[in-house]
Amino acid sequence: MTEFIQQILNGISLGSIYALIALGYTMVYGIVQLINFAHGEILMVGTFAAFFAITAYNANFVLAILIAMAASVILGVLIERIAYKPLRKSSRLAVLITAIGASLLLQNGGLLVFGADFQAFPRIIQNHQFKFFGGEVSVTSYQLLIFSVTLVMAIFLQYVVMKTKAGKAMRAVSWDKDAASLMGINVDTTISITFAIGSAFAAVAGVLLGLYYNTLYPLMGFMPGLKAFIAAVLGGIGLIPGAFAGGFLLGIVEALVSGYWSSAWRDPFVFAILILILIVKPSGLLGKDEREKV
């Protein structure tokens, strides 16, 4: 039983990171209907920015996260403006291929600039271990940090999207771009804001990921990015609560599969769940089925 609780706790902390990435993913998907494959690479660049801020300029944790967010936001908006915006009117296939291109470009650009080696992410804040049940179940302060940051940011995002003017604009644009622009909403700006918020979330997730695993490398973003997309699909793409729930669910499933079965079967298992969900309920666990319109 204690092992089970431990696995769930590990799953929740990994799931928090997935949820954080998935929130950005799902926002971008919701507004432009594009799987932004480069999302994981935006995360990677943000993490490296934080890494350099800490190692070269002795930045503290909060400053490092802010720098990471700034780097990711600039990159995310640049990608949107350069690679995706010219294609807004073309086929979705073309945009998706461009997204793959952007992802490959950043991955290999990262390999070129940062080198292929794994680097140790500095343990900039102390990691304490809290033990329960006679030491059989433990929670680290990193895990608590990750969970609380994700929770706060998800609530913040929900507030921004539901209560602010910018959020209202986002929802309008995701519903109908043309109608939104007729209502006086600047569609381009709104899309850029969405990319900026999504990228900032990715940066935070990246720093937490680097801190949690104590490592960073240029390909670090791809798999978590892909997993986060799965999480978003799992919960219902385009929905903030869906991405949140999907992330946690995915993290817990991964932890249980690695804990009770074998970590080598983790990825095939997760992808099998993805395909199953897509077949059974493509709109996701929290999504509503929409009728196809001609």
What residues line the site for another protein (CB under 8 A)? 33-35, 83, 86-87, 90-98, 100-105, 107-109, 111-112, 116, 226, 229-230, 233, 262, 264-265, 267-268, 271-272, 274-275, 278-279, 282, 294
Q: What is d(CA 115, CA 255) in angstroms, rounded to the nearest whole number?
A: 30
Q: What is d(CA 67, CA 73) in angstroms, rounded to the nearest whole number?
A: 10
Nearer residue to another protein within complex by CB, 18 or 142? 18
Nearer residue to another protein within complex by CB, 85 or 131? 85
Least separation in angstroms between residue 23's CB and another protein is: 18
Least separation in angstroms between residue 231's CB and another protein is: 12
Least separation in angstroms between residue 279's CB and another protein is: 5
Nearer residue to another protein within complex by CB, 164 or 263? 263
Q: What is d(CA 205, CA 20) in angstroms, rounded to the nearest whole number?
A: 6
Least separation in angstroms between residue 156's CB and another protein is: 27
Token reading at 181? 């622009």
Least separation in angstroms between residue 63's CB and another protein is: 31
Q: What is d(CA 279, CA 271) in angstroms, rounded to the nearest whole number?
A: 12
- DSSP conformational letter for 285: S
Nearer residue to another protein within complex by CB, 128 or 281? 281
* Residue 221 CB contacts under 8 Å (≥ 6 apart), including other chains: 39, 40, 41, 42, 43, 44, 47, 107, 202, 206
Nearer residue to another protein within complex by CB, 167 or 218? 218
DSSP 85-131: GGGTTS-HHHHHHHHHHHHHHHHHHHHHHH-SS-EEPP--S---EEE
Least separation in angstroms between residue 291's CB and another protein is: 13
Nearer residue to another protein within complex by CB, 94 or 179? 94
Q: What is d(CA 58, CA 50) in angstroms, rounded to the nearest whole number?
A: 10
